Structure 1
């Protein structure tokens, strides 16, 4: 095993879900943008579809996103206890930015028309592609010393987000990744046994 391979495995292992964020990045904002652009260029996609779209929010735009989320969640929670949700929203807002992951429905529809035999599968392929972009960006951020987590609030505020940030109507919001400086490291991670999760057949 080469030193480069060991280093790559270390990078994978060091990526964690970080909720305790600050607005002080250990690198420039441009370094975050560079990581996103690298992922967009080099992450594979089914049929080379390239349907993933990403928006990076910094500063006040980032805070506005989580203000929108909180407003919508308060309407859903109503008179029930909102304290734990408020704490979570504040933890996201405390970061330096948020990365929004989308899939372009127009691109997916074009592929469905071009390759009709796979039409039902293209939305699934798109989800797979998007997940790979999420992991590629997340791992790069971790390697830059940036904390991040992956959130899925799309259903509660997708229309409001589209309006607030002039998102094209064909873009479907998939996930949100708040990021920033690391105020506190993640706790110990528990692993299920690999024997129950990996099957090996025909190994010599």
Structure 2
């Protein structure tokens, strides 16, 4: 005659921890599978041109040097700043990057916007005598959060215009655009909008400078 024998207390002690470990491993695997997919951002397609500057006032040709700025902007990492928590600290997005460095993206966008306005864009190596030279240095390029759900893309730059190695004028421009979403995608779109607004500001300013050397 067979008798039912219940598992010993020692067996039960070994089986329960093993079951908990298996459940924990399955949970971690589920979390890993739900990690956000990496994404790369740029400034998107070039918007339609805005006719805000008189055609006769714009320079016919412009020498544009590549945009310069801090070393932190010479990287594809996307950063943000929490103004409400620690305004002195920049934090990187874990899964999101720029397709190029912010300095490269700004250089491409500004040159494209100037060319779109009907101005011939020349490289420093192709500069003609007497052509205006534009140098742009970025002082700020950031997605800043004023709260956990609200952020904006802000750009501040200093532009210097030269002709025949002489400074014609220098001015600081700043633009800020609200982000539609509190994430990397919203920040990328806001910074693109701010760069387009700065392009219009630069063109309007260049139109006020002497059209030819005296």
TM-score of the pair, normalised by structure 2: 0.28
Q: Which has the higher contact order (CA 8 A, sep 6+)?
A: 1
Considering fraction of residues, name the structure with more strand. Answer: 2
Considering fraction of residues, name the structure with more helix. Answer: 1
Structure 1 or 2, whichever has the larger Rg, is: 2
